[in-house]
Amino acid sequence: MTLTRLHPAPLASIDTEDRDALLELYRPPRAEWLRLNLIATITGGAGGSDGTSETLTNPVDRRILGVIRELADVVLIGAESLRAEGYQHPRRSRLAVVTLSGNLAGHRIEAPEGAAPIVLCPPAATARVLSDLPGAEIIELEPAADGIPAADLITALRARGHSSIVCEGGPRLAAQLLDTGLVDEFCLATSPLVGGVPFPVTGPTAIAERRATLTQLLLDETSGLYARWAFADRAATH
């Protein structure tokens, strides 16, 4: 299949089998980079008919997902996403999971040798985490009244050498990261569907307003769109 680059000009065709070309299209401009990478319906729903992103994705989206993961040191997700989507460990990066309760039931994680998943949790949840996911690398963080502060998650991961981070949700974690003002880029795939779950891709929580700039827009043969939105206020902080 091919992708058409609509922005920036000029129009260009990209073979989705050309992984090197896709890597260049998504390569971060700096080593220290925080991305969100999410998919939604046209109406903003975070999931399709089965309540997950599985019914929204397609082979092109999954190829782009793999490229974005390859360019990251760590893939960050919330435990709710892990339980709902049955996450597997990424092939080319570490997986980091955030949980308050320590409940990681339903995971399908089989980590490659030397790439144990990272779990960020309160000290009280460590025992439960290790019962569900023996061998996990635990990062204990003290929670605030509304959970572990999102900024603390990023600080803890970077303190361990994970400079380039991509968060794949769920909606609550994505909203918390956006609200910190630390997100450099929002990669949003739009599935050519209306409806789906009546739950927005960043959840119902209010997020502080920020202005983003469209830096790239790709179109696949099924009318799926793949946008890269950068935050100008982050450029000034690096």
For the segment 121-146, the average pLDDT, to the nearest whole number, is: 93
Evaluated on CA atoms 174, 179, 182, 183, the torsion sign reads positive
Give, for 82, the enclosing helix (H) or strand (E): helix 79-85
Distance between CA atoms of residues 9 and 78, nearest Å: 36
The answer to whether residue 77 scores a pLDDT higher than 60 is yes
Q: What is the pLDDT of residues 18-29, one digit of tens each?
A: 999 999 999 999
Which pLDDT does position 74 carry in this prediction? 97
Q: Which residue has the higher pLDDT, 236 or 229?
A: 229
Beta bridge pairs of residue 227? 188, 217
Which pLDDT does position 154 carry in this prediction? 97
- 125 pLDDT tier (thresholds 50, 70, 90): very high
Distance between CA atoms of residues 9 and 25, nearest Å: 14
Length of the chain: 238
The answer to whether residue 114 scores a pLDDT higher than 70 is no
Residue with tokens 């502080």: 208
For the segment 218-226, the average pLDDT, to the nearest whole number, is: 97
**pTM for the whole structure:** 0.92
Q: Percent of the chain scored above 70 by pLDDT?
A: 96
Q: What is the pLDDT of residues 91-106, one digit of tens each?
A: 889 999 999 999 987 7
Mean pLDDT of the chain: 91
The answer to whether residue 237 scores a pLDDT higher than 60 is no
Sorted by where each begins, the domain ranges of the chain are: 30-49+69-220+227-235
Q: What is the pLDDT of residues 43-76, one digit of tens each?
A: 988 888 777 778 888 999 999 999 999 999 999 9
Which pLDDT does position 33 carry in this prediction? 98
Cβ atoms 106, 86 nearer than 8 A: yes
Number of alpha carbons in the 13 Å side-chain half-sphere of residue 191:
25
The residues, ordered by sequence, that sit 6+ positions from 151 with a Cβ below 8 Å of its Cβ are 180, 182
Distance between CA atoms of residues 38 and 169, nearest Å: 7
CATH of the domain spanning 30-49+69-220+227-235, picked from 3.40.430.10, 2.40.37.10, 3.40.390.10, 3.40.630.40: 3.40.430.10
The answer to whether residue 138 scores a pLDDT higher than 70 is yes
Distance between CA atoms of residues 198 and 81, nearest Å: 16
Q: Percent of the chain scored above 90 by pLDDT?
A: 67
Closest of 63, 60, 96 to residue 77, by C-alpha? 96
